[in-house]
Amino acid sequence: MNMKNRMQFGFWMLFLIAFTISCDQKDSTKVVEGNAAEQAYVAPGEYDEYYAFLSGGYSGQITAYGLPSGRLLKEIPVFSQYPENGYGYSEETKPMFNTSYGFVPWDDSHHIELSQTKGEFDGRWLFVNGNNTPRIARIDLSTFETVEILEIPDVAGLHCAPFITENSEYLVSGTRFSIPIPQKDVPIDTYKENFKGLINYVSVDPEHGHMELAFQIEMPGFNYDLARNGKAVSHGWSFLTTYNSEQAHSLLEVNASQKDKDLMAIINWKKAEEYMKQGKFTERQTSYFHNLVDESTGIVESKERTLTKILDPKELPGMVYFIPVPKSPHGCDVDPTGEYIVGNGKLSADMSVYSFSKLMKAIEDENFDGDIDGIPVINYEAGLHGIVKKPGLGPLHTEFDGRGNAYTTFFISSEVVKWDVETKEILDRQPTFYSPGHLMIPGGETRKPDGKYLLAMNKITKDRYLPTGPELAHSAQLFDISGDKMKLILDFPTKGEPHYAQGIKADKVQPNAVKFYDIEANEHPYATLGEGKTKVERDGNEVHVYMTAMRSHLAPDNIEGFQVGDKVYFHVTNLEQDWDVPHGFAIQGATNAELLVMPGQTRTLVWEPKKVGVYAFYCTDFCSALHQEMSGYARVSAKGSDVPLKWGLNEELRNNQQAAHKFYDEAKASADASK
C-alpha cells in the first residue's frame, strides 16, 4: 500500500467507524418513541403499581424500587454490614453475620425469591442467597428488614439458590463449585475422584417463615448453576442446570466449554421426602449457623448446628435424573403451566425447550442413554419439546407473560427476544444497553404472571449516563410488553450489580407495612420504657447506659464517671410511637458505626473511650425542629479516677440508685428526728 492508498484506506476506515457509531446512537435513541415518558411517569404523591426487589450482587444487599417510575425506595441491608443504620454493628444485629467461618461481614447476593402460595406471590417474605459464604437470608416484607440467615454446609459458592417451590415448601439450592466433602487436604487435580456437589432443600415454616435445612442430595462433582421448581403439573420436581460436566478444575473458560452438551438435573423432591420419612438418609457431622431475630426483643439469636441429613441418589432410585442441555447452560425456567422447561444454553446458538410430560414418559419408558454415577441420563430427544433456532447469542434467562410468550435475555447480542413457547417462533427482539443478565416480569416465574412490564438488568452501561470514573453503574431497563412489540419506556441506574429481581403488585405488600414497633411489646432486656427509668450502671469496666430518645432530647444527656478503658454499652430505646420518627445515636470516638433506632425499638452501640475528655453525642436523624439540640455530653476520666458515676437531664446530676436511696434515707431519718 502506497502512502496515498494508505491515506485513502484510513479515510474510509474513519468514515466507516463514524458511520457505525452514528448508526448505533440512532438505534439507541430510536427505540424510545411516543408516550414512553408518560407511561413511566408516576406523579408526585402517587404510588407505583409494583414493588421491584433487585439483588445487589457484590453489594450483598437488596434494593426496593417502585415500578414503573424506577424510584429507589430503600436499600435493605442483608449480607453486608451497614453503618448507615448500625446493621451488623449494633449488639443486637452482630450475630446475624455468624457463620462456621466466624463473623463474615459481606457476601455476594444474587437471586431473589418471593414467598408463594398456590403458585402465586403472597407478599410475606423475600429470600436471597449469599454466594461466597453459602447462606440464605429471609427478609420480612412487613418491616423490610432481614430477620433470618441460614448457612448451608459443605457447599461452595451458593450461586444456585434459593429457588422456591409453589407453596414455599422448600428453597432449593445447589453448589456452584464442587469440593471435597467433608473438606480435606487433597491435590486439586484429584477433582474427579474427590470432589462432590450437594443439592440442598431448606424447608420454610408456613406460619413464621423460619428456615431449616431439611436434607441434602449428594451429586457428581459438577457446577450447579441455576434452578427452578416445577409448578402446577410439574409441582414436586426441581430442575437444575449444570456446567463443567467436563469436571475441569483450571482455566474453566476453556476446559469447561468443551462438551457440546452439559446436563440438567431433574429431581423428584416428593420422592426425596418419602425417602426421608423412611429414614433412608445418612447423617453427617458438620457445622453451620442459624441466625434468627427474636421478635419480642429484636435481638438476633445465633445457634450452631452440627448435623446434616444426606440422600444418595446412587442408592435411592427414582429421585434424580439428568438430561443433556446445550453447552454451559445458565439456568432453566419453567413456564406458567408447568409443562415447558426452557434451558438457557449460554454458549449455544439454539435454545432447548423440554416438555414435562415427555420427560415423565421417557422416565416411565426408561428411555435412558446410560447413567452418570448411577443417575440415569434421559435421552435428549425423548424429553425435548423443541428447539428455538438461532434466537440470539448467549441466552441467559427466560420469563413468561402468562399469554403463552417467553422473553429471553441475550448477553452477547445484547437484546431481549420475545418468542412463542408453543410454536418456538420468534415474535420480537429489542436491543438493550448493554449486555443484559437476568430479566424480570412481575410474577414471571409464577403460575400467574402479570405481563405488563419487563425489567432487563444490564451489566454494562458505558455511555448511557454521565461518566463517574472507571466504575460505572449497572442499569435496568423497563419495557412495556402489553402490546405485540416490546417498547422501551425507562432506563435507570441500579445499586451494586443486580443479578435477579422479583416484582409484585404493591397492594400485596403495602397493607402489611409496619409503621412502628409497639413499645409495650418491647421485651429487650436493656429496654428503657420511660424517661423515669433511665439509668447508668457499672459492672467492673463494663458500663450500661439505659437511654431513651424522644423529640427532641436524649435522656440522660449529661453523663459523668466513665473511665478510660471502659466498655460502654449505650442501650438506646426510641420512645416514639408514631410513623417515620426514627432517632439516631452517634458518639465521637466510636470505632464501629451509628445507630438508627426505629420507634419502639431498642438498639445498643458499644463505645470504648481511649482518652480523657468530654465527648459529644447526638441524634443523627433529623427528627424535628429541635433536632440540632438533641445532643449530650459524656465525661471520661482517667482509669481509677474517683469521679462518681452520675447522669441526668435538665437537672442536677443524679448519683446512681444507691446514692439516691442513701439521700432519701438520710432525709427521712432527719425528718423523724425532728418529730
Between residues 2 and 650, which has the closer beta carbon with respect to another protein?
A: 650
- Residue number with CB closer to another protein (484 or 578): 578
Contact flag: residue 247 with another protein (CB under 8 A) = no
| Identity of the amino acid at 476 | A
Q: Does 621 bind another protein (CB under 8 A)?
A: no
What type of residue sits at position 303? K
Query: Is 43 an interacting residue with respect to another protein (CB under 8 A)?
Result: no
Please state the closest distance from residue 578 (CB atom) to another protein, in A: 5
Nearer to another protein by Cβ, of 53 and 618: the residue is 618
CB of 626 to another protein, least distance (A): 6
CB 205 to another protein: min, Å: 29
Residues whose CB falls within 8 Å of the CB of residue 239, separated by 6 or more in sequence, listed in order: 227, 228, 229, 230, 264, 265, 266, 267, 332, 334, 341
Nearer to another protein, 361 or 515 (CB): 515
CB within 8 A of 327, min separation 6: which ones? 257, 259, 260, 261, 262, 345, 346, 347, 348
The cell for 395 is 441466552
Under rule CB under 8 A, residue 24 binds another protein: no
The answer to whether 614 contacts another protein (rule: CB under 8 A) is: no
Cβ atoms of residues 421 and 451 within 8 Å: no
From the list 311-319, 354-362, 589-597, 619-627, the region that binds another protein by CB under 8 A is: 619-627
The CA distance from 73 to 504, in Å, is 14
- By CB under 8 A, tell whether 578 contacts another protein: yes
Q: Applying CB under 8 A, what is the total number of residues that bind another protein?
A: 9
- Cβ proximity to another protein, 482 vs 628, nearer residue: 628
Q: Which is nearer to another protein, 355 or 624 (CB)?
A: 624
Written as nine digits, the cell of 661 is 436511696
How far is Cα 457 from Cα 452, in angstroms, rounded to an integer? 17
Q: How far is the CB of 549 from another protein (least distance, A)?
A: 12
Q: Are 545 and 569 in contact (CB under 8 A)?
A: yes
- Those residues with Cβ within 8 angstroms of residue 267's Cβ, 6 or more apart along the chain or in another chain: 172, 199, 217, 237, 238, 239, 240, 319, 320
553-555 and 583-587 strand pairing: unpaired
Exposure class string for 301-332: b at 16+ Cβ within 10 A, else e = ebeebeebbbbbbeebeebbbbbbbbbbbbbb
**Cell 453447552 found at:** 327
Q: 284 or 551: whose CB is closer to another protein? A: 551
Q: Which is nearer to another protein, 33 or 578 (CB)?
A: 578
Rounded to 5°, angle at Cα 309 from 304 and 313: 150
Whichever of 40 and 581 has its CB closer to another protein, that residue is 581
Among the listed ranges 178-186, 190-198, 493-501, 575-583, the one in contact with another protein (CB under 8 A) is 575-583
Tell which positions 622-651 bind another protein, by CB under 8 A: 624-626, 629
> Which residue, 205 or 578, has its beta carbon nearer to another protein?
578
Name the residue nearer to another protein (CB basis): 505 or 551. Answer: 551
Q: Does 513 bind another protein (CB under 8 A)?
A: no
Strand partners, 179: 196
DSSP string, 59-103: T--EEEEEETTTEEEEEE-SSS-BTTTTBTTSTTTGGGGEETTEE
Q: Which three cell numbers stand for residue 601?
A: 425499638
CA 192 to chain centre: 32
The residue among 189 and 518 lying less far from another protein, judged by its C-beta, is 518
Q: Which stretch binds another protein (CB under 8 A): 120-128, 602-610, 621-629, 634-642?
A: 621-629
With CB under 8 A as the contact rule, the residue among 226, 264, 550, 555 that binds another protein is 550
Sign of the C-alpha dihedral computed for residues 67, 72, 73 and 75 taken in this order: positive
The answer to whether residues 406 and 422 touch, using CB atoms and an 8 Å cutoff, is no
The residue to which cell 406471590 is assigned: 121
Give CA–CA dist 474/121, Å, rounded: 27
Min CB(50)–another protein separation in Å: 22
Q: Which is nearer to another protein, 120 or 576 (CB)?
A: 576
Region of residue 417 (phi > 0: left; psi between -120 and 50: alpha; otherwise: beta): beta
Q: Which of 576, 586, 615, 637 binds another protein (CB under 8 A)?
A: 576
Instruction: Determine, following the binding rule CB under 8 A, whether residue 551 of this chain makes contact with another protein.
Output: yes
Q: CA 182 to CA 308: how far, in whole Å? A: 12
**550 contacts 576 by C-beta, under 8 angstroms:** yes
- Residue among 429 and 551 whose Cβ is closer to another protein: 551
Does 577 help bind another protein (rule: CB under 8 A)? yes
To another protein, the closest distance from the beta carbon of 575 in angstroms equals 8
595 binds another protein (CB under 8 A): no
Q: Tell me which stretch binds another protein (CB under 8 A): 149-157, 405-413, 498-506, 576-584.
A: 576-584
Which residues, 138 to 197, sit near another protein by CB under 8 A?
none
Which range in 208-216, 249-257, 353-361, 571-579 contacts another protein by CB under 8 A? 571-579
Which of 78-86, 94-102, 313-321, 618-626 is the region at the interface with another protein (rule: CB under 8 A)? 618-626
* CB 550 to another protein: min, Å: 7
Residue 355 CB-density burial (10 A; 0-12 exposed, 13-18 middle, 19+ buried): middle
Question: Which residues lie near another protein (CB under 8 A)?
Answer: 550-551, 576-578, 624-626, 629
